[in-house]
Amino acid sequence: MTKLIDFQTDPSRYRHWRVSYDGDIATVAMDVNENGGLFEGYLLKLNSYDLGVDIELADVVQRMRFEHPEVRTVVMRSGKERVFCAGANIKMLGVASHAHKVNFCKFTNETRNTYEAASADSGQKYICAVRGACAGGGYELAIACDYIILADDGSSTVSLPEVPLLAVLPGTGGLTRVTDKRKVRRDLADVFCSTEEGVKGRRAKEWNLVDEIVPNSKFDAIVAQRAREFADGSARKVAGPGVALTPVQRKIGDDGSVAYSLVDVAVDRAARRATITLAGPAGDAPVSVAALHSEGAQTYLLRLARELDDAILHLRLNEDQIGLLIFRSQGDPGQVVAHEQFLLDHRTDWFANEILLYWKRVLKRIDVTSRSLCALVEHGSCFAGVLAELLFAVDRSFMMNGAFDGDNRPPATITLGPSNFGAYPMGNGLTRLQTRFYGTPETIDALAETNGKALLADAAETHGLVTYAPDDVDWEDAVRLFLEERASFSPDAMTGMEANLRFAGPETMETRIFGRLTAWQNWIFQRPNAVGEDGALKRYGSGVRGNFNMQRV
Amino acid sequence: MTKLIDFQTDPSRYRHWRVSYDGDIATVAMDVNENGGLFEGYLLKLNSYDLGVDIELADVVQRMRFEHPEVRTVVMRSGKERVFCAGANIKMLGVASHAHKVNFCKFTNETRNTYEAASADSGQKYICAVRGACAGGGYELAIACDYIILADDGSSTVSLPEVPLLAVLPGTGGLTRVTDKRKVRRDLADVFCSTEEGVKGRRAKEWNLVDEIVPNSKFDAIVAQRAREFADGSARKVAGPGVALTPVQRKIGDDGSVAYSLVDVAVDRAARRATITLAGPAGDAPVSVAALHSEGAQTYLLRLARELDDAILHLRLNEDQIGLLIFRSQGDPGQVVAHEQFLLDHRTDWFANEILLYWKRVLKRIDVTSRSLCALVEHGSCFAGVLAELLFAVDRSFMMNGAFDGDNRPPATITLGPSNFGAYPMGNGLTRLQTRFYGTPETIDALAETNGKALLADAAETHGLVTYAPDDVDWEDAVRLFLEERASFSPDAMTGMEANLRFAGPETMETRIFGRLTAWQNWIFQRPNAVGEDGALKRYGSGVRGNFNMQRV
């Protein structure tokens, strides 16, 4: 799988989803093109999916929020007659590398989270209308929705057959959402998750696997009625027009480097690291909401978010030998603050609000990226407000302290704004500052008083905002030694260590999915019982069950 | 490693720990016998440990609570001059099977939890006095204590060098306790956990890795002073005398079966299951606190807890092909309730209280046991009060419904008592009923009204207390089909599924350790970068670093 995976798409290129609009109700129909797999070697039968299908879905959800703000309810359904969705394509899983499988699951999890976020943060409610088999990843598509309607026709079922059929776990949050969101009784959840054939009709409703069962004859009418009710019940009062998400401008080099308009990704494969440099705004913040809308997708903070998001995904899937991401920035911190403050001041405008909410998602994507993350706060940098969040997302940070020989850029500073105290919560429900100072909340009160002030290295270090603040004499060695050391460690140990240290304190359904469930799934994805020659994943479809080593671990 | 691992020991047999008592202060000195490893092939140098060392420590902690109730402070220190503890023995980890490593880590985690529980539940405070190197599992011994004193002598250090040195994670809660208990800032935790040489002196204090640093000249005096202060500050006001934990009576058969006095473990290796049958009390509950003390370790609920605890550990470590544990009981439910009610009514007595607290730990051990668990509620059974908790710990349960041909035993019932509503919280902080009915708390209110009433199968099923309640016609097939099906599944997938479904809702430091951290550790313990021929764990001590596949997952 060395083909470059492209996370950019648009409706004109969709092969697997059909989207239609009717006032404030949108319908998203899954109609996977069998021959449209991302790679060779498998057919996407029965609405099964691979990463390419999910990239389109992520695009659908994203465009719904920006291009179709008038939408209050999204109905997700199948575009095929007899099947809702058969889940992730098993043949694809059978041939994919371990790293691809894990990153595929991570992305699909993030995509499920985006429509839960669309509902929670923007009042775009998702209804899932299930007719036919809804299995595995298909049911995981459904339980990320707000409401599930199941056809009561004797053949439509919901199921999570991964364990009995494939000897792996449902990889897209299924186990966690069954107990924590659907609140299915744990012994019934155990039955459900070990039953190949799934559950249908009345029992599916009784166990709370679905919200409503409806005879086939009334199915379309009830779905339409519920869509209308959810739309009417939504607090969302936005008419549009939307903002077109015009193509992200970028140029990908043969060495994996990417040049965007505001983001530069320099890939050094030999050293196993990538340097991501973010540029500050070239101009002033918009002067009015009308001006913001007229800038559209080109407005600084939206453009930067889209480019950064794409860069992270590109590195995750296309550059798996890169163990370390280094964040840099160059620009005017005052301008960054001004652009962000404009959005914060105009959150009642849906578009301003959506840009801030998008940053919340981009930052969360960085939090769960399994690469060592570090930040270099250099002279001339603009780690202010939302960009300062990157400093609290990384595992370590270095900040230039004092004058550097021959460096005439403005001295390195960090500027906190109001957004750092609440606008971008992590998956654990805390701000990045709350997570960082989990033991000393009083530190955060002291930081709140620096609001808007550009802190030099000594102050930043005293406040605990950076790990190290070396001067001209020490900087180069300190950074170089860290980068070399980090690149020498076992990447597996780094992945495990970072997954544990990044999320102090409380857990949520989201962190449970990325932490507990993902870790177990990664473990099982390694085990011969699943992926060995005689494992269930390899043998699937052969008519022969997996041959298991029965030792319990 | 086919030698039978015995979890029973007593002070006369200790090889690795020395315990001394001085009024309300006990000193536990780690002085590992190099030649005392549980298996051949490694020396336990530098106070490094294997499972055998930890079995003794668990015994120390357990006896402290029962045999030495006068103790208010326990000082943990090294019995060797230049080293506190080098952590888990690397050579042992290098030769141990994956299953042994995982179960070893699970048991050491449970042991660390027992002294945290002794502090939280019984006011026996643990102080760790660290002089010399305190590395890896050594530091994990320390951070489970309430207070850490580190010698400030230029050479005493604390460290978690697993990641840089061995390419695995600290396996006994280290990563979680660093951020969640010690509340070390996450970037400093990152530095600490990737630094082979560890941290000493002032920096160890500043980062909150230890509570106090003390020059060598004052070390013993300050340790003694702090021990005195903690003892004086403890709410514990118990003088003793203690209750001797006399040897557990049992007979282990060649087929792995074990006959205890109240517990029978029937092992069926061919079918890969073990049936654990618990007997009800043979006599009445004690009539007075004095009578309880005079029964001592023979009192019904203590004897049962010790036997059940031993049975679970035996099966975990010695019977790793057994995938399913089946809980049965036979006896008078009214008597079980009476025995437990006596303890609940006399919790002000330290011994009565300790028996209940021990059950809390035994039940938690069952919760995190990586085997499928089921319960058969048959006629003549006594699933009442504390024994009913087993029904809510298992993954599935079956209850006999109505008369069974030729079966003259009293009909199957389930009796809830006050203990089911709070006495035995799970690691997630909820009762097992709260976890079971996470979505329908009103169910619990309805159950509270059944208090003390023996519920027949129909009522138990209606209340959601059992998964299935088949009648005479269906029972045998229902149970048989389940047992056969469960035994056919991939044990890895079962382990992962159960670890996720058993703990709905909130997470705590404890569940984070068993869920998130353990899963990642299990994953890394599989990876060639750690355990392959060129992996760091195999190469340790050879002078050659691990050769890593640098793909990031």
Q: Residue B21 corresponds to which tokens in the numbers above?
A: 């008592």
CB contact under 8 A, A272 and B550: yes
Residues A225, A227, A229: CA angle, nearest 5 degrees? 70
CB–CB contacts below 8 A, A to B: 286
- List of residues 6+ apart from A122 with CB closer than 8 A: A65, A236, A350, A353, A354, A357
H/E stretch holding A328: strand A324-330
- Cβ atoms < 10 Å from Cβ of A291: 13
Inter-chain touch B493–A397, beta carbons under 8 Å = no
At a CB cut-off of 8 Å and minimum separation 6, what does B39 contact? B1, B3, B50, B92, B95
Cis ω for the linkage preceding B164 (within 30 of 0): no
Q: What is the pLDDT of residue B1?
A: 43
B129: enclosing H helix or E strand: strand B125-130
B/e letters for A433-457, b = 16+ CB within 10 Å, e = fewer, are bbbbbbbeeebbeebeebeeebbbb
Q: Is the pLDDT of residue A544 over 60?
A: yes
If pLDDT is split at 50, 70 and 90, which confidence band does A327 have? very high
Tens digit of pLDDT for each residue in A55-84?
999 999 999 999 999 999 999 999 999 999
Q: Which residues make Cβ contacts (< 8 Å) with residue A102, sequence separation at least 6?
A: A370, A518, A521, A522, A525, B553
Identity of residue B277: T
Question: Confidence band (pLDDT; 50, 70, 90) for A3?
Answer: confident
Q: Give the single-character DSSP code of B4.
A: P
A1 confidence band (pLDDT: 50, 70, 90): very low
What are the helix and strand counts (H, E) for chain B?
22, 22
Instruction: Search chain B and give the residue with CA nearest A547.
Output: B490
B394 interfacial to chain A (CB closer than 8 Å)? yes
pLDDT of B413: 98
User: Per-residue confidence at A310, pLDDT binned at 50, 70, 90?
Assistant: very high
For B500, phi and psi rounded to 5 degrees?
Answer: -90, -40
The angle at the Cα of B379, spanning B376 to B381, to the nearest 5 degrees, equals 65
Contact A370 B169 (CB under 8 A): no
* CB count in 10 Å sphere of residue B451: 12
C-beta atoms of A438 and B321 within 8 A = no
pLDDT score recorded for residue B237 = 84
Q: Is A253 exposed, middle or buried (0-12, 13-18, 19+ CB in 10 A)?
A: exposed
- The whole-model pTM stands at 0.97
Residues 317-336, chain B, touching A (beta carbon < 8 A): 320-323
Pick from A490, A507, A524 the residue to mutate for testing the B interface (most B CBs within 10 Å). Answer: A490
DSSP state letters, B134-170: EETHHHHHHHTSSEEEEE-SSS-EEE--IIIIISS--
Task: Spell out the per-residue pLDDT of chain B, length 553, in tens.
Answer: 468 999 999 999 999 999 999 999 999 999 999 999 999 999 999 999 999 999 999 999 999 999 999 999 999 999 999 999 999 999 999 889 999 999 999 999 999 999 999 999 999 999 999 999 999 999 999 999 999 999 999 999 999 999 999 999 999 999 999 999 999 999 999 999 999 999 999 999 999 999 999 999 999 999 999 999 999 998 888 877 999 999 999 999 999 999 999 999 999 999 999 999 999 999 999 999 999 999 999 999 999 999 999 999 999 999 999 999 999 999 999 999 999 999 999 999 999 999 999 999 999 999 999 999 999 999 999 999 999 999 999 999 999 999 999 999 999 999 999 999 999 999 999 999 999 999 899 999 999 999 899 999 999 999 999 999 999 999 999 999 999 999 899 999 999 999 999 999 899 999 999 998 889 888 888 889 998 989 988 888 888 888 899 888 8
Q: What is the DSSP letter of A526?
A: T
Helix (H) or strand (E) holding B529: helix B528-531
Shortest distance between the Cα of A409 and any Cα of chain B, in A, equals: 27
**pLDDT score for B539:** 87
Point out which residues pair with A127 in neighbouring strands: A75, A147
Q: How many Å apart are CA B470 and CA B484, to the nearest integer?
A: 17
Q: Closest approach of chain B CAs to the CA of A453, in angstroms?
A: 23
* DSSP character string of A30-84: E---TT--SSSS---GGGEE-HHHHHHHHHHHHHHHHH-TT--EEEEEESSSSEE
ipTM of the complex: 0.95
Report the alpha-carbon distance of residue A332 to residue B96 in Å, rounded: 57
Mutate to test the interface with B, among A483, A550, A552 (most CBs of B within 10 A): A552
CA distance B511 to A66: 39
pLDDT for residue B2: 65
Task: Flag if B553 and A522 touch (Cβ within 8 Å).
Answer: yes
Give the closest of A194, A504, A523 to B180, CB-based: A504
Chain B residues 508-537 with a CB less than 8 Å from chain A: 512, 515-517, 519-524, 526-527, 529-530, 536
Whole-angstrom Cα distance, residue B286 to residue B303? Answer: 14
Q: How far are the Cα atoms of B283, B298, B320, B391 from residue B328, in angstroms, in the given order?
A: 20, 22, 21, 10
User: Which residues of chain B are within 8 Å of residue A502 when distances are taken between CB atoms?
Assistant: 186
The pLDDT score that the predictor gives to residue A2 is: 65
Cis peptide before A241 (omega within 30 of 0): yes
